[in-house]
Amino acid sequence: MALTDSTKLYSPEVWEDMAQAEFTGKVVVANAALSDDTLVGNPGNTVDFPKWDALGELDDLTEGVAMTTEALTQSATKATIREAGKAVEITDNAMLTGLGDPQGEAIRQFGVLAARKVDADLIAAATATVSNGVTRPDGSIVGDSAPLANTLTTGNTVLTWDHIVDSIAQFGDDFDLADVWGMFVRSDAISALHKDDQFISASQVQSGNNIVLRGFLGQIGGMPVYVTDRLAARTSLIVKRNSLGVLWKRRPIVEQDRDILKRSNVVTTNLHYAVKRLNDKGVVVITTSAS
């Protein structure tokens, strides 16, 4: 009688490592996000993202007159922890008679789908306007939370250098190229970018042992450009460093279970996380004209 031993089956530890390797390799927008594991092992399903509020400009002083003090305050925005996952059931007959490795393919696709899901949720958080979304520690409402925006309502339907320059101007005097992680565009914008004289392709930028992140197209205006179709139609993003965040409750894991009556294996993946735009003034949403 043939023996099915551990050398013939995936162990849960190996499955988990494979899924996370695919996940790490497929993300695009999540590479630009601040990633944090402080939620791991802690209770609760809502997380606060606090920040220091800016003080006003310096006061002009008069000799002999006491200075007026100003309170240093904090405000915060909230995000809800979400769970995402996928399950596949594979019969013994499929494993024995089908072509290829269905278990390995399921794991590969789990990693890709996890990456796409986190990227899509980060983009939704980056572009969202949240009414009454900024609060004080006492619960009082400070105002709405919204990104910077540059919307072209008429004229050119493709992304141009002039449009990018106008979008950068939304940062005002707070713009520093060193603070910008990069620009994210859809694949249907690639052709117009490659034809723009200001664009430098990836083949001209890469040098030495620099790590090239997934989706990297090249540079424009000194900014790295990445492609992801998780963006909505006619939408691009310029993102400063640490302006987006992913807080992990549990990173992607893969589990398996055996149904001996049905003679099949169930393979699942799930992840628990919260995403948020951490800096409203660190994201510019670029929208081109529909006609």
Angle at 54 between CA 50 and CA 56, to 5 degrees: 155
Task: Choose among 287, 239, 285: nearest CA to 33.
Answer: 239
Indicate the pTM of the whole model.
0.80
Q: What is the mean pLDDT of residues 277-283?
A: 90
* Domain-located, residue 65: no
Q: What percent of the chain has pLDDT over 70?
A: 84
Helices 12-26, 102-127: crossing angle, 10 deg rounding: 40
pLDDT for position 1: 36
* Domain-located, residue 63: no
* Domain-located, residue 134: yes
* Domain-located, residue 4: no
pLDDT for position 159: 85
pLDDT tens, residue by residue, 88-144: 988 888 888 777 788 888 888 998 899 899 999 999 999 998 888 888 777 788 888
Q: Is residue 251 a contact partner of residue 114, using CB atoms and an 8 Å limit?
A: no
Number of domains in the chain: 1
In the predicted model, is pLDDT for residue 279 greater than 60? yes
In the predicted model, is pLDDT for residue 145 greater than 50? yes
Q: How far is CA 142 from CA 46, 53, 74, 168, 198, in A?
A: 19, 11, 10, 26, 41
In the predicted model, is pLDDT for residue 194 greater than 50? yes
pLDDT for position 206: 62
pLDDT tens, residue by residue, 223-237: 999 999 999 998 999
Q: What is the SS3 assignment for 116?
A: helix
Q: What is the mean pLDDT of residues 274-282?
A: 90
CATH code for position 270: 3.90.1690.10
Compute φ and ψ for 75, nearest 5 degrees.
Answer: -135, 170
Note down the domain range covering 142.
11-52+75-287
* Domain-located, residue 179: yes
* Domain-located, residue 61: no
* Domain-located, residue 91: yes
31 pLDDT tier (thresholds 50, 70, 90): confident
* Domain-located, residue 126: yes
Task: Choose among 204, 209, 164, 158: nearest CA to 182.
Answer: 164
Residue type, 223: M
